[in-house]
A and B are shown apart, each in its own frame.
Chain A
Amino acid sequence: MAARMTSTSTAGIYSPATALVLLLPLIALFCGAFLYPVGRLLAMAVFDPDFTVRHLAKAVESPLYVNVFLRTARIAAAVTLAAFALGYPVALLMSRLSGRAALFVTACVLVPLWTSVLVRSYAWIVLLQTNGLVNGLLRWLGLTEGPLKLLYTEATVLVAMTHVLLPYMILPIYGALRAIPADYERAARNLGAGAVTSFITVTLPLSLPGIFAGCLIVFILSLGFYITPALVGGPETLMAATLISQQATELLDWPFASALSLLLLAGTLVVVVVFRRFLSLSKGL
């Protein structure tokens, strides 16, 4: 407990001026390599060359684009839910283990993170294709007669995206769970709470910041997902990122591509603000 308290006190060592100087390289990099190009790209959406909302209007008025944005949001939400349901128990286990077992579970979470998204997505193709491992197993067990269509569906996209994004859910939750002193749960158990009650009333609420951080990261990454849906999804699983790339590289309509990007970014920012609001509310629980 005492060690945890002192760990945050390093913030006081540096004066605000020193902190600013130390941050300058990062701020310069952020402004030069991120803010400026993104700003220029987004400006293209509304200046062509004079101010216009025609590109934004085209995106909002077309049912095609509205539908794709809604589907993207729906898939991102479903992936976030699935990653949370699968990730929380793993994070809980990681925070409770020690020694070799902890190392093993941590490796299981981190190694996929270091593997290319392309490789992980292709692995799903190998598993789920018509004559793949899963269909082979189902037939061997006598559960199905012919091969099932497992690949190139929206469900496959959900499964593969959840798999790819799972570490981004587990790690923040794990961080939050590790920060909860074991004494709290012991105290709850001491005062007569059962395992379930102490989890629901003590551990879960205290891990909420980690849950929100994990959900936010996974949701935002899902909104911009590109490779996995393209590889394992069917043609109807069009996502926002695919549409933007079509406009940018196939049609060279950069103003419209940036209008679509602007809408995606605006939607993402709304989600961030709403999540932040939830986060600050949850602190008061």
Chain B
Amino acid sequence: MIQPQDICVVIPAYNEGSVIAEVVGGVRNEGFAHILVVNDGSSDDTAAQAERAGAVVISHLVNRGAGAGAQTGIQYARLNGIAHIVQIDADGQHFPEDIRKLAEVMDQEQADIVIGSRFMSRNKDIPMIRVLYNKLSNVFTNWFCTRWYSDTQSGFRMLNRVAIESLDLHIDGFGYCSEMIILGEKSGLIIREVPIRVAYTAYSMSKGQDLYMGINTAMNILWKLVSHPK
């Protein structure tokens, strides 16, 4: 059974000073003491707030994108011999208590990556426009996969040591979510999904992807598949 002390919770964050302390506090309250915030070149007090809330903070000097932040978290885990990492979004849309669900599935199914899926159960709170973007992204990403994944864009994921060692993400932006799945499959990693809840607020809606970013993400994934096919 995977214990909370075996898990490092990685939170890539960019200008999340107003919510990051609450997110870190929520994770700590669930019994996960090892929290890493990757401050991705924020111009606000994200790093100070996260540190005050009890997280270890790694700061990018300049903003490089969500994918770059996620890969820095993976790299940190690799260097420090961490057995499992859980990535969650910094905008407070995820429920930290769901981390245990991911850990359970990883344990039971011997999975290397477990994705928290917003679409495996009925989530009425998800705005229609987000549902539409995500469905389109699913079609695009699953085109390159052998299995069908219900939420390819979820930022709530758990990785074990095998995945930490083998994943080398090249996409700096949001496209890393798709890249991780495609790359994981190619590397022979076992990927599973588990239903999670999400809370969309006006704040979290102001973050994340819009149509332009979605097109950009799709282009980045195509470019990545052409330039780094392995």
Partners in one complex: no
Interface residues of A (CB under 8 A from B): none
Interface residues of B (CB under 8 A from A): none
